[in-house]
Amino acid sequence: MPDALSKTVPVWCAVLNRCFLRGSGSEEIWFPSECVSAQEKSHIEALLPSFVNTLKVADVLLLY
């Protein structure tokens, strides 16, 4: 399975959900287990808050 489907799409979905649905941020992100190891999943999950903040800052900048 290509990285775009196994990693990129789930990451974008998680970031958009956390930005626009204003969730608690603790929702679990799902990756195909045969494509993404537990260690890699943990690493990506640790990066999600920075991705969310970057998107929020970009959104504010686009308003000006």
Q: pLDDT band for position 19 (50/70/90)?
A: confident
In this prediction, residue 24 carries a pLDDT of 59
Residues in contact with 11: Cβ distance below 8 Å, sequence separation at least 6, in sequence order: 29, 44, 48, 51
How is the chain split into domains, by residue range?
3-63
Give the distance from CA 54 to its chain's centroid. 11
Portion of the chain with pLDDT greater than 70, in percent: 83
Question: Distance of CA 56 to CAs 11, 25, 59, 62, Å?
Answer: 15, 14, 5, 10
In this prediction, residue 26 carries a pLDDT of 62
Angle at 62 between CA 57 and CA 64, to 5 degrees: 105
Instruction: Report the pLDDT averaged over residues 37-41.
Output: 91
